[in-house]
Amino acid sequence: MSFFINGLRAKVMSTELIIEANLSKKILFEALAIAREFEEKYSAYKESSLLSQINRASGEKSIYASKKELEIFQKAMEIAEISDGLFDPTIGVLTQGSYGFGTQKAKIPSSKELEKKKQLVNYKDILLTEESIFLQKKGMRLDLGGIGKGYVADLLLDFLRSQGATKILLSVGGEIVTLGKVYAIAIKNPFAEGNIGIIRSSKELLSISTSGDYERYIGSKKNHHILDKSSAKQNHFYSSITILKNGSCATELDGIATVAFNSELPALKKIAKQFQVAIIAITADKEIYFENFSNLQLKSFEIYPFTTS
């Protein structure tokens, strides 16, 4: 077995996946297979996926699955509960159904359509047991985009550690996990090319989640993909939100990033305290705010001046 850092890059879930660890390339490819298996099972864009089966059966019948297959839905429900619905996995009727994010039919829906469809967004209408899941209203749709990448990062972390890895870097889009080595992690400038800062991790296990209005949008960043379920539209409090915490918690941080992105500035301190995390918020006016109620261990955190472009 190799004890130097090996790495690979691949496209999974419409994003770049980076896996580095002090393990053999063979084991890294096994980790890649885990990520691809997740995509096959939980993609909203694959007709054969478990998620698509659940969505098609909304209002009609339960879909049976193993306890392990249902775990991500349980985690989504937990985050929805503790965030009082600010994170809601039933947002799919809007993100995919109305706006068509991630499809060839992306559009800006009418206010009338949004007003109608948002009535179907309510995680409390998910009936989840240890062996089945049922969306109780016809037309409901799950969207795991708010926690799916974080969940994959946690899955791969568990797998790599089970194989003996002591040095790990995982990046699943905006979800990053580091362990055992000091890594320099860039914070992207949401307004121009390049970065606005660098986080230097310690060797402790660190999880990071970033959401931004520059990642996916229709026409312009005004129509970005992070929706507020109460309005069925976009908020513009921030251009970027980064959530950090030591430990294996990428799934949770992925969901919290959505909660923070749809919360006004005065609420960030409360969110950071509630979830015991650190938050780096970059507003649409290019102001940077930092709240920290976590056990965060960093070597350093540097912010550069914004570019003017």
Among 51-55, 226-230, 294-298, which stretch is predicted with the lowest mean pLDDT? 294-298
Structure tokens at 126: 């998910």
Spatial contact of 276 and 294, defined as CB atoms under 8 Å apart: yes
What percentage of the chain has pLDDT greater than the value 90? 88
Q: Report residue 4's pLDDT band, with 50, 70 and 90 as the boundaries.
A: low
Taking alpha carbons only, the member of 93, 87, 86 closest to residue 118 is: 93
pLDDT in tens, 68-109: 999 999 999 999 999 999 999 999 999 999 999 988 889 999
Question: With 90 as the cut, is the pLDDT of residue 306 above it?
Answer: no
Neighbours of 43 (CB within 10 A): 19
Instruction: Kindly state the average pLDDT of the residues 10-25.
Output: 93
Q: Where are the domains of the chain?
A: 6-22+169-303
Taking alpha carbons only, the member of 227, 208, 207 closest to residue 92 is: 227
pLDDT in tens, 251-270: 999 999 999 999 999 999 99
User: In the prediction, which pLDDT does 104 show?
Assistant: 87
Neighbours of 8 (CB within 10 A): 14
Spatial contact of 72 and 144, defined as CB atoms under 8 Å apart: yes
Question: With 50 as the cut, is the pLDDT of residue 136 above it?
Answer: yes
Taking alpha carbons only, the member of 157, 114, 184 closest to residue 249 is: 157
pLDDT in tens, 192-246: 888 988 999 999 999 999 999 998 999 999 999 999 999 999 999 999 999 999 9
Encoded amino acid at 301, one letter:
F
Spatial contact of 196 and 303, defined as CB atoms under 8 Å apart: yes
Tell me the pTM: 0.95
User: In the prediction, which pLDDT does 14 show?
Assistant: 86
Question: With 80 as the cut, is the pLDDT of residue 3 above it?
Answer: no
Q: What is the sign of the dihedral through the CA atoms of 55, 60, 61 and 67?
A: positive
Instruction: Kindly state the average pLDDT of the residues 282-305.
Output: 88
Q: Report residue 282's pLDDT band, with 50, 70 and 90 as the boundaries.
A: very high
241 DSSP β-pair partners = 211, 281
User: In the prediction, which pLDDT does 1 show?
Assistant: 35
Question: With 70 as the cut, is the pLDDT of residue 309 above it?
Answer: no
User: In the prediction, which pLDDT does 103 show?
Assistant: 87
- Is the domain defined by 6-22+169-303 classed in CATH 3.10.520.10? yes
Spatial contact of 146 and 89, defined as CB atoms under 8 Å apart: yes
